[in-house]
Chains A and B, each alone.
Chain A
Amino acid sequence: AQTVTQSQPEMSVQEAETVTLSCTYDTSENNYYLFWYKQPPSRQMILVIRQEAYKQQNATENRFSVNFQKAAKSFSLKISDSQLGDTAMYFCAFMKPNTGNQFYFGTGTSLTVIP
Chain B
Amino acid sequence: KAGVTQTPRYLIKTRGQQVTLSCSPISGHRSVSWYQQTPGQGLQFLFEYFSETQRNKGNFPGRFSGRQFSNSRSEMNVSTLELGDSALYLCASSLEQGGSYEQYFGPGTRLTVT
List residues of A whose CB falls within 8 A of some B CB. Answer: 33, 35, 37, 43-47, 50, 52, 91, 95, 97, 99-108
Contact = CB atoms under 8 A, between A and B. Distances in A.
Contacts, number: 56
Q: Which of B33, B48, B99, B101 has the most CB of A within 10 A?
A: B101
Interface stretch (B67-75, B77-85, B102-110): B102-110
B11 interface: no
Contacts of A100: 48, 50, 55-56
Contact of A105 (B43, B55, B107): B43
B101 A44 contact: no
Nearest to B53: A100
B105 A101 contact: no
A105 B104 CA distance: 14
Contact of B101 (A43, A97, A105, A107): A97
A35 B106 contact: no
B101 A101 contact: yes
Contacts of B43: 91, 105, 108
